[in-house]
Amino acid sequence: MSTHDIDSQHDFTPGSDYYDVLTVKVVSSTPEREIDDTEAIYFDLPTQGWHPGEVRQHLRGTANQAPIQNYVLKESSTEVNWGASGAGLEIVLQVANSIADGTIPALIGAALDQLVMRASARRQPVGFLDEESAVHYAKRYLSIGHGERYADLQVTKLELDHSQSATVTLTGAAGTYECTCSRTKGGMTMTRVKKTYGN
């Protein structure tokens, strides 16, 4: 399928379908279908050239494959006009399985990488590049997903290895978190957020 066919299929219009932030969040569910927020995986997709339907369709197709048999797919968008304007979209894949062993995050990451590479003609590569970026991603997701104040989060440990992955430990009002930032083959930034202990 060509890029033009993909755009036509999803009625892509760059003027109205632009997001400054486009994130796919993968979380586990409790038996009551409540989100288990002790651990989450965030994938930051390149933001230019996407229609949300394209990402949703790809996630649905992936989630319908084993080992993901029960899931909830939902999304929320934000628009900010406070000084600098911006728009963000978060698509949440809530799965009945555990994400702790890494199988489901790896499956979703590989599927999104395929989508990113397929659409590479429409975007410029973006992603995690250095320690400052890793701290930014970690703080951003702790403020979004755990209600921590971005400015109040303190970095207690930061390790960057030669393979472009970083481990950041932060403390906030609600606890201590270990975040791992890495770059996928397709150029996305993947951030794993795990609450290690807290209130």
Indicate the domain borders of the chain: 1-126, 127-199
Domain 127-199 falls under CATH 3.40.1130: no
Closest to 115 in 3D by CA, of 4, 5, 6: 6
pLDDT in tens, the chain (199 residues): 333 333 344 444 444 455 777 889 999 998 888 888 789 999 988 765 566 777 888 888 888 877 787 888 988 887 777 766 677 888 999 999 889 888 999 999 999 988 887 766 554 444 456 888 899 999 999 988 888 999 999 999 999 876 678 999 999 999 999 999 988 877 788 899 999 877 6
pTM, rounded to two decimals: 0.64
CA angle at residue 48 from 44 to 102, to 5 degrees?
20
Cα 35 to chain centroid distance, Å, stands at 16
- Distance, CA of 16 to CA of 177 (rounded, Å): 36
pLDDT of the residue at 33: 84
Between strands 21-29 and 84-95, the pairing is: parallel
DSSP string, 30-75: -TTS-EEEEEEEEEEE--TT--HHHHHHHHHHHHTSTT--SEEEEE
- Distance, CA of 117 to CA of 147 (rounded, Å): 33
pLDDT of the residue at 179: 94
The tokens describing 157, both together, are 């440990």
pLDDT of the residue at 18: 59
Closest to 95 in 3D by CA, of 120, 66, 133: 66
For residue range 75-125, what is the model confidence (pLDDT) as tens digits?
888 777 776 667 788 899 999 988 988 899 999 999 998 888 776 655 444
pLDDT of the residue at 6: 37
Cα-Cα-Cα-Cα dihedral of 95, 105, 26, 197, to 10°?
100
